[in-house]
Amino acid sequence: MENDTIAAIATAMGESSIAIIRVSGSDALTCVDHIYQGKNKLTTVLSHTVHYGHILDPDTKEKIDEVLVTVMLAPRTFTRENVVEISCHGGLIAVEQTLGALLKTGVRLAEPGEFTKRAFLNGRIDLSQAEAVIDLIRAKTDKAAKVAIRQSEGKLSTHIRALRNDIVETLAHLAVNVDYPEYDADILTSQYVVERCQAINQELERLLLTARQGKILREGIATAIIGRPNVGKSSLMNALTQENKAIVTDIPGTTRDVIEEYVNVRGIPLKLLDTAGIRETEDIVEQIGVQRSEEALRSADLVLLMLNHSEKLQTEDIRLLEKIKGFPTIIVINKLDLPKRIDYEEIRQRSGGKQIIPLSVKTEEGLSLLEEAIKVMFFAGQVDMNDQTYVSNARHIQLLEQAKQNILDVMSGVEQGVPLDMAEIDMKNAWQALGEVIGEAVAEDLIDQIFSQFCLGK
Ligand SMILES: Nc1nc2c(c(=O)[nH]1)N(C=O)[C@@H](CNc1ccc(C(=O)N[C@@H](CCC(=O)O)C(=O)O)cc1)CN2
Ligand SMILES: Nc1nc2c(ncn2[C@@H]2O[C@H](COP(=O)(O)OP(=O)(O)OP(=O)(O)O)[C@@H](O)[C@H]2O)c(=O)[nH]1
Ligand SMILES: [Mg+2]
């Protein structure tokens, strides 16, 4: 059933001061009234008011918890249905028992994402806004959260709607011509269509261009720190994260596995990967670590190759300099505080002129240069979040690509003089693809699949 009354625990499980159970549906108030004892019946109170009382087991009448209950009446609610939120004491027992009591009154346990799905089905938000809610919950950095919040406010939807409007106008123009060919406005129409398509295509390309930045803002730049054992990779990781998560010792081969940590470097979110020092080794555990380092290297968006300022280049260093060809790489030369033994010119030649940052993690000299270099590398200047819409969702990117292809087909078709009703079909397909971004005309199973990614209670 689509409009039965549902409930779920909306807060994370575990010890906490308060936990919230959310109830939504037309019977939310009457159902909660069966287990709630307070001054007034909830069915009689005003919308958007909070009430003190107790939750009782409906069978035994035993007190389960002391609570505050918030009543919000349709349609001014998250789901656009009647909503009751019960604030229980945190911890597992009171919340589970309250939910259990509620389920005895005919309320059904919600599926993951079902509250947000109802907000979508009831027209409060569109699909890209609903997807932004998932992104917000999963955001690992400030910037990622900001992108998600903007999308949840419908910023992307506004662009998509404007594009669809442009397409409809162009279609209208086409339709006149297709239906009344006797007007003989063919040539004028072709010109008009091509011009409109160029503008539409430009906007689609602009949105697609933001996708790469959007992905980075959401997931962080996967940044692998690689290098020979003992050069100071874990030390750099700790310095950038300002934590001592990675173990540092003067024993080569200290790090055995890839350690992941999210950091914010000058507003750029990095997913830092500290890896095991790469060398030939007999140690099985270390061998696996080295393998994983090489995998981290292959999947990295950015590689920080670390060398030692106070040692001559070694075979392993040279091998690594070969390996990083074709990867966006910054060469970090660590231990600048020690006497120089490395040959910078050789590195420059062997790396094909990659950027080199000498620094000392120990004295922190040069660390800020590295941070700046990372930032410049990815944004070539300033990141302006204020009027940018970032497309960050794989599904949206795919649909935008598809719309772009349809528009390109319209243009090349018209230019080659194919009948205008063919162009009309491609144009309609672009309109359809963009509609799917905001959830207009999408298949039901796709909607189910999207909402099933949510956590319970959302
Ligand atoms: N207790 C509680 N905190 C919460 C939520 C919640 O559901 N419950 N939210 C859940 O994610 C977020 C807030 N998001 C919300 C978004 C819309 C509406 C809502 O009721 N919208 C109505 C009425 C707006 C109004 O009165 O002006 C609407 O848009 O029609 C509520 C919460 C975060 N904090
Ligand atoms: N003098 C000096 N020593 C440093 C510097 N950075 C790190 N070290 C020291 O170098 C040693 C190795 O550092 P780690 O960070 O464990 O090196 P690693 O590259 O992670 O080593 P593996 O995990 O074995 O691959 C430690 O004793 C650090 O204290 C530096 O800038 N200057
Ligand atoms: Mg290490």
Establish whether 234 is an annotated binding residue.
yes
Give me the CATH number covering residue 369. 3.40.50.300
For 169, residues 6+ apart whose C-beta sits below 8 A from its C-beta are 196
* Same domain membership, residue 365 and residue 225: yes
Measured CA to CA, the distance from residue 426 to residue 418 in angstroms comes to 12
Cβ atoms within 10 A of the Cβ of 249, count?
Answer: 10
- Is the pLDDT reported for residue 184 higher than 70? no
Please report, for the domain that includes residue 420, its CATH number.
1.20.120.430
User: pLDDT value at position 308?
Assistant: 97
230 is in an annotated binding site: yes
- DSSP line for 281-327: -S-HHHHHHHHHHHHHHHT-SEEEEEEETTS---HHHHHHHHHTTTS
The answer to whether residue 134 sits within a structural domain is: no
The per-residue pLDDT of the chain, averaged, comes to 88
Q: Are residues 370 and 396 in the same domain?
A: no
ipTM over 0.90: no
Q: Which residues line ligand 1 (CB under 6 A)?
A: 20, 76-78, 85, 124
Q: Which residue has the higher pLDDT, 102 or 178?
A: 102
**210 in a known ligand binding site:** no
Looking at the domain assignment, is residue 451 inside a domain? no
Same-domain pairing of 190 and 246: no
Q: Are residues 28 and 171 in the same domain?
A: no
Position with higher pLDDT, 383 vs 42: 42
In the predicted model, what is the mean pLDDT of residues 120-136? 90
Split into its structural domains, the chain has a count of: 3
Is 358 close to ligand 2, i.e. is its CB under 6 Å away? no
Q: Which residues place a Cβ less than 5 A from the ion ligand 3?
A: 233-234, 254-255
Q: Report pLDDT digits (tens) over 196-210.
A: 999 999 999 989 888
Question: How far, in Å, are 6, 87, 388, 399, 427 from residue 82 at the CA level?
Answer: 11, 17, 36, 35, 41
- For 213-235, write each residue's pLDDT tens digit: 777 766 778 899 999 999 999 99
Atom of ligand 2 nearest to the CA of 274: 20
Nearest residue CA, atom 4 of ligand 1? Answer: 78
Residue 178 has pLDDT above 70, yes or no: no
∠ CA 112-113-118 to the nearest 5 degrees? 130
Specify whether 229 is located in the same domain as 359. Answer: yes
| Domain end point (choices 379, 411, 426) | 379
Give 6's strand partners: 24, 108
Start-to-end C-alpha separation, the chain: 18
Nearest CA residue ID for atom 28, ligand 1: 76
pLDDT at 253: 78
Residue 133 in domain: no
Are 343 and 406 found together in one domain?
no
Q: Look at residue 386 and tell me whether its pLDDT is greater than 60.
A: no
453 part of a folded domain: no
Amino acid letter, 122:
N
Q: Of 292, 258, 288, which is closest to residue 273 (Cα–Cα)?
A: 258
Residue 215 lies in a domain: no
- In this prediction, residue 286 has a pLDDT band, given cuts at 50, 70 and 90, of confident
Q: Are residues 41 and 173 in the same domain?
A: no
Q: Any idea which ligand is nearest the CA of 10? A: 1
Cross-sheet strand order for the sheet of 63-72:
36-38, 49-56, 63-72, 83-89, 18-24, 6-9, 108-109
Q: Which of 311-320, 390-399, 424-433 has the lowest mean pLDDT?
A: 390-399
| Residue keyed to tokens 């992307």 | 156
Question: How far away, in angstroms, is 234 Cα from ligand 2 center?
Answer: 7
* Residue finishing a domain among 103, 126, 149: 126
Residues 303-326 have a mean pLDDT of: 93
Distance CA 229, CA 253 (A): 5
**Dihedrals φ, ψ of 110, to 5°?**
-70, 150
| Mean pLDDT, residues 242-249 | 78
* Residue 384: band (very low, low, confident or very high) from pLDDT cuts 50, 70, 90: very low
CATH number, domain of 117, equals 3.30.1360.120
β-strand partners of 307: 333
Q: What is the mean pLDDT of residues 441-448?
A: 76
Question: Which atom number of ligand 2 is nearest to the Cα of residue 361?
Answer: 31
Residue 395 domain-assigned? yes
- Same domain assignment for residues 333 and 354: yes
State if residue 396 touches ligand 2 by the CB under 6 angstroms criterion: no
**Quick one: which ligand is closest to 279's CA?**
2
Looking from the CA of 421 toward its CB, the CA atoms found within 13 Å total 4
Most confident of 100-104, 110-114, 208-212: 100-104
Q: Is 19 left (phi over 0), alpha (psi -120 to 50) or beta?
A: beta
In this prediction, residues 379-399 reach a mean pLDDT of 68
* 348 assigned to a ligand binding site: no
The answer on whether 142 is annotated among ligand-binding residues is no
* CA-nearest residue, atom 27 of ligand 1: 76
Span 1-51, pLDDT tens digits? 467 999 999 998 888 899 999 999 999 999 999 999 999 999 999 999 999
C-beta 366 within 6 A of ligand 2: no
Instruction: Give pLDDT tens digits for 79-88.
Output: 999 999 999 9
Q: Which atom of ligand 1 is nearest to the CA of 72?
A: 20
Domain that holds residue 403: 139-210+391-438
Q: Which ligand is nearest to the Cα of residue 73, counting in written order?
A: 1
Does the Cβ of 229 fall within 6 Å of ligand 2?
yes
Question: pLDDT grade, residue 440 (50/70/90)?
Answer: confident
Q: DSSP letters along 102-161, please?
A: HHTTT-EEPPTTHHHHHHHHTTSS-HHHHHHHHHHHH--SHHHHHHHHHHHTTHHHHHHH
Question: What is the per-residue pLDDT for 186?
Answer: 64
Residue 109 domain-assigned? Answer: yes
> Whose C-alpha lies nearest to ligand 1, atom 23?
76
Q: How far is the CA of 219 from the centre of ligand 2 (A)?
A: 28
For residue 367, give the ligand nearest its CA. 2
Task: Tell me, yes or no, whether 115 and 54 share the same domain.
Answer: yes
| Residue linked to tokens 């009430």 | 51
Does any domain span residue 445?
Answer: no
Check: CB of residue 81 under 8 Å from CB of residue 27: no
Asked whether residue 252 is marked as a ligand-binding residue, the answer is yes
- Cα separation of 253 and 84, whole Å? 56
Is residue 194 domain-shared with residue 247, that is, in the same domain? Answer: no
Residue 235 labeled ligand binder: yes
Residue 22 annotated as part of some ligand binding site: yes
* Same structural domain, 230 and 359: yes
Q: In the predicted model, what is the mean pLDDT of residues 269-293? A: 82
Assess whether the C-beta atom of 393 lies below 6 angstroms from ligand 2: no
Q: Are residues 242 and 283 in the same domain?
A: yes
Most informative mutation of 235, 258, 280, 369 for ligand 2 (most atoms within 8 A of CB): 235
Which residue has its alpha carbon closest to ligand 2 atom 1?
A: 335
pTM over 0.80: no
6 and 110 Cβ atoms separated by less than 8 Å: yes
- Does residue 258 surpass a pLDDT of 60? yes
